């Protein structure tokens, strides 16, 4: 009986090893097939942000191999909108703010903008309380009007924009300190719309129904 039990255990162990080896072979084949067929979407670790959904069909748009996404890759698309960045890399090259880089490396786009990690449904993946990495004092009493505010309210409430904070900068406030609260006579901007009518091309059924 002992020999029979040992044979059963060996058979089960052999089946288990065969199953594990089979799964490993299938995984290797799956990974290899995804690379050969350029279907790297299979490796997406999570949901892509709304603004980058179209890039899911071409990982090479952002990634170079398995390296982290670089600032240069981001700037290929975002250079125009970053041209007026008032909170950008240049600001943090100033030694006065060097200590803040220990809290979060804002010199790197991906330090704040995460991909494939769904955090907040606002088109970009940012931690809602990201501002508190450096500005905890704002809600802790440094600014009386903000005392007691929630940690995640800076940008989720629509008040502040990291890359364009001119409206709350001391320079902007100083330049406009003596301006009236409202214009003397509020006016809407004059909009000029030029409408043109184009004649539709004649129908060509041979081009419409190629089949």
pLDDT, averaged across the chain: 77
Least confident range from 93-107, 108-122, 123-137: namely 108-122
* Cα–Cα dist 49/54, whole Å: 10
Is the whole model's pTM more than 0.85, yes or no? Answer: no
Is the pLDDT confidence value at 173 over 80?
no
SS3 for 41? helix
Residue 7 is predicted with a pLDDT of 65
Q: Are 65 and 83 in contact (CB under 8 A)?
A: no
Q: Spell out the residues 6+ positions from residue 97 whose beta carbon is closer than 8 angstroms to its own.
A: 91
pLDDT digits (tens, 9 = 90+) for 174-196: 777 787 777 677 777 777 877 77
* Cα–Cα dist 160/156, whole Å: 8
What burial letters (b/e) apply to 180-205, b meaning 16+ CB within 10 Å? eeeeeeeeeeeeeeeeeeeeeeeeee
* Cα–Cα dist 46/52, whole Å: 13
Higher pLDDT, 16 or 172: 16
In this structure, the number of other CB atoms found within 10 A of the CB of residue 154 comes to: 22
Q: Read out DSSP for 79-112?
A: HHHHTT-SSSHHHHTSGGGGGGGGT--TTSHHHH
Q: Read out DSSP for 116-168?
A: S----SSSS---TTTTHHHHHHIIIIISGGGTT--TTHHHHTTS--TT--GGG
Work out the pLDDT band at 25, boundaries 50, 70, 90.
confident
């Amino acid at each position: 009986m002992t020999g029979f039990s040992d044979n059963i255990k060996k058979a089960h162990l052999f089946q288990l090893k065969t199953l594990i080896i089979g799964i490993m072979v299938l995984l290797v084949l799956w990974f290899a097939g995804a690379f050969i067929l350029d279907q790297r979407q299979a490796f997406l670790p999570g949901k892509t942000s709304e603004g980058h959904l179209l890039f899911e069909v071409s990982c090479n748009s952002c990634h170079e191999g398995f390296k982290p996404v670089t600032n240069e890759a981001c700037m290929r698309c975002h250079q125009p909108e970053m041209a007026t960045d008032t909170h950008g890399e240049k600001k943090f090259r100033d030694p006065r703010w060097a200590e803040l880089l220990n809290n979060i490396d804002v010199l790197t786009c991906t330090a704040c903008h995460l991909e494939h990690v769904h955090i907040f449904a606002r088109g970009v993946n940012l931690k809602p309380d990201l501002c508190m990495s450096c500005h905890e004092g704002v809600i802790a009493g440094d600014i009386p009007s903000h005392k007691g505010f929630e940690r995640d309210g800076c940008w989720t409430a629509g008040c502040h924009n990291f890359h364009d904070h001119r409206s709350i900068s001391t320079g902007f406030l100083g330049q406009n300190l003596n301006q009236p609260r409202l214009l003397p006579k509020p006016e809407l901007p004059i909009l000029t719309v030029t409408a043109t009518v184009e004649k539709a091309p004649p129908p060509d059924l041979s081009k419409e129904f190629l089949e």
